[in-house]
Amino acid sequence: MPDIIHLLPDYLANQIAAGEVVQRPASVVKELLENAIDAKATSVQLIVKEAGKQLIQVVDNGIGMSETDARMCFERHATSKIKSTEDLFRIRTMGFRGEAMASIAAVAQVELKTRPHNAEAGTKLIVEGSAIVAQEPVVTPAGTSIAVKNLFYNVPARRNFLKTNAVEMRHILDEFQRVALAYPEIAFSLYHNDVEVFNLHASKLSQRIIGIFGNNYKEQMALCDEETPFLSVRGYIGKPEFAKKTRGEQFFFVNNRFIKSGYLNHAVMTAFEGLLPKESYPFYVLFIDIEPDKIDINVHPTKTEIKFDDEKTVYAIVHSAVRKSLGAHNIAPSLDFDGDVNFAPLQPIRIQNNEQGFEQERTTFSSSGFSAPAPKRVSSAGWEQLYEPLRNQPTGEERISSAASVNLLDDAFAADTSPATSNKTLQVHQKYLLVQVKSGIMVIDQQAAQERILYEKYMTSLQKKVVTSQTLLFPQTIELSPADAALVKELKAEFLELGFQFEDFGGNTIILNAIPADVQAANEKELLEELVEQYKNNLATLKLDTRENLARAIAKRLAGRLQTRMSELEMNSLVDKLFACEVPNYTPGGLKTLVIMELSQLHDLFQKN
């Protein structure tokens, strides 16, 4: 039998290894920025063209490299960070695997210029597909400049998998922000297609957060600082009232390395328990400093996963630190044991309501004492007046007129759900609608129904490209974060099909000129920000195409604004529109829009046979 196992050529082995390290332009940005930090740079400049597909260049003022080191850095498993197995458990640097530069050089054209501070001349190298094609001395500032050009030029199939420039640029911004947050003492700047996106001076962490995310973060940050013999936790958390519907601004750093950890995120979320609105997520930037031998970062080439020697203790300390910070800033409720807890004498006041025929005892209160006795019935006269609103409700015999619509309900409810001869619609707590049907009572979730109706409407608009807009009397100037601005510009065509019209004002600012025709003209900036936020939240949890994601996002956000008192006409219209939908009984996210309570269930509630 002939031998069939053979060694792969170096260029092919490097390309395979590059598949793990270099997944997209943002991967290159991350590795080059981390190398600049390990080189003890105090100023780092990132220059990007065509979202990194054409050029990614990082210029730093670090220690630089000698001629030999410049050549060696492109070899696989060549590193200055570790020398022995023991060093793996004492890592303080960002890189250590010795794979990044070799992987980048395997799939791009790289130009390196570097000079140590004590040398008069530097070294210039040109590498293409892992091969050094040119080397010469060069006059260059102290430090290192690495230009990565034409990424995946020799792997065209891989290049075809790259997303649009707007998508790739968002990923680059994410990596840039993570590194810039981790090292506020280093100055960072970012240029995309010769336009300055960030210019961050060396500063404190709080100033760095504001520089990246905007001035509105000044009000919402609460300091978190906890020191223990095992580890320390420092950073900032957001106040609950500023929580968002997406997990966007949540950052954990362990020894200044950004990590992703659902376990630690749970520790933070449980500390906020009872303080956050439903389906909201707080902002936080937290740094955990721990001895390197207590963690293992050699889990994945991207180094965003980490293992703790005692993760339960880490969880408990993080939870305690966040909870303590909330209490220190009077965000979490606490008991005051020093206050006067003596109650003042209570004086009841008797009030006679002649119209309704009820007499109640109300109690005045002083300090923190109070009393609320139950109402006392003294007469049954006039009770009919309580039900007058129901007497005036119009009938709606044709409200659920289509048998086809009824058949779309769950099989359990589809047997007999047509409305009774004289059914009525009643709004309860501005959240639910009660509709009488032959088999019992139908309860409709007002917000969920609105979401289903709006979703199908906007999906139709996006598919048919039917644009209906209302022009704003005064155009709104809206400043977004760099990541959100990139996303809005990426989705400009879809926004236009929904009815939004805006123009680029330069930088991260847009001018909003029009909104969808049926959207109330108020708080347009908030609406756009909420829409972008919901879109990103869907993007993180669901695999949807752009149009469906956007339709879901705007439907959910607008429906959340429509919890108001409804007129008879509006209630009837909502029910009619719901049963005109293709799938009336579920929201796009799979939640029920309605339930049926059959007469037998109602009898059971009152223990009737």
**For 173-230, how does the pLDDT look when each residue is reduced to its tens digit (9 = 90+)?**
999 999 999 999 999 999 999 888 899 999 999 999 999 988 878 888 999 999 999 8
Element holding 497 (H helix, E strand): helix 492-498
CA-based nearest residue to 167, from 69, 53, 86, 327: 53
**pLDDT (0 to 100) of residue 349:** 43
Strand pairing report for 440-445 and 432-437? antiparallel
Residues paired with residue 471 on neighbouring β-strands, in sequence order: 514
CA-based nearest residue to 253, from 188, 205, 301: 205
Q: CB–CB of 422/395 below 8 Å?
A: yes
- 206-328: CATH architecture: 2-Layer Sandwich (3.30)
- Which amino acid is residue 157, in one-letter code? A
**pLDDT (0 to 100) of residue 299:** 60
Strand pairing report for 250-254 and 284-290? parallel
Distances (CA, A) of 348 to 354, 368, 370: 19, 16, 11
**pLDDT (0 to 100) of residue 28:** 93
Q: CB–CB of 149/109 below 8 Å?
A: yes
Determine the Cα angle at 279 with ends 273 and 285, to 5°.
65
Which tokens in the block code for residue 181?
């947050």
536 phi and psi angles, rounded to 5 deg: -65, -35
CA-based nearest residue to 97, from 18, 179, 171, 11: 18
Distances (CA, A) of 460 to 77, 490, 501, 556, 584: 54, 21, 19, 16, 15
CA-based nearest residue to 21, from 102, 121, 136: 102
| Separation CA 382–CA 405 (nearest Å) | 42
pTM for this one?
0.68
Q: For the chain, how far is it from start to end, CA to CA, in angstroms?
A: 84
- Sheet with 594-598: strands ordered across: 425-428, 432-437, 440-445, 594-598
Residue 448: CB atoms within 10 A of its CB come to 23
Weakly modelled stretches of the chain, pLDDT under 50: 334-422
SS3 label, residue 31:
helix
Q: Where in the chain is the domain with CATH 3.30.565.10?
A: 10-202
| Separation CA 433–CA 448 (nearest Å) | 11
| Separation CA 232–CA 295 (nearest Å) | 14
Q: Where in the chain is the domain with CATH 3.30.230.10?
A: 206-328
**pLDDT (0 to 100) of residue 541:** 65
Residue 361: CB atoms within 10 A of its CB come to 14
**pLDDT (0 to 100) of residue 277:** 78
Q: What is the DSSP letter of 7?
A: P
**pLDDT (0 to 100) of residue 90:** 59
| Separation CA 257–CA 34 (nearest Å) | 10
CA pseudo-torsion sign 94, 98, 99, 100: positive
Distances (CA, A) of 472 to 489, 506, 516: 20, 20, 10
| Separation CA 192–CA 197 (nearest Å) | 7
SS3 label, residue 135:
strand
The percent of the chain in helix, strand and coil, each rounded to the nearest 5, is: 35, 25, 40
Q: What is the DSSP letter of 330?
A: T
CA-based nearest residue to 25, from 138, 221, 198, 169: 169
**pLDDT (0 to 100) of residue 321:** 93
Strand pairing report for 358-363 and 425-428? unpaired
CA atoms within 13 A on the CB side of 503: 3
42-97 pLDDT tens trace:
999 999 999 999 999 999 999 999 998 888 888 876 666 655 555 555 565 665 55
Range list of H helices, 90-182: 100-106, 156-159, 165-182
Per the listing, tokens 């939240």 go with 537
Range list of H helices, 183-283: 205-213, 262-271
96-114 burial: b if 16+ Cβ within 10 Å, else e? bebbbbbbbbbbbbbbbbb
Q: CB–CB of 405/390 below 8 Å?
A: no
552 in the Ramachandran plot: left (φ > 0), alpha (ψ -120 to 50) or beta? alpha
CATH code for residues 10-202: 3.30.565.10
CA-based nearest residue to 599, from 491, 479, 442: 442
Cβ burial, residue 341 (10 Å; 0-12/13-18/19+): exposed
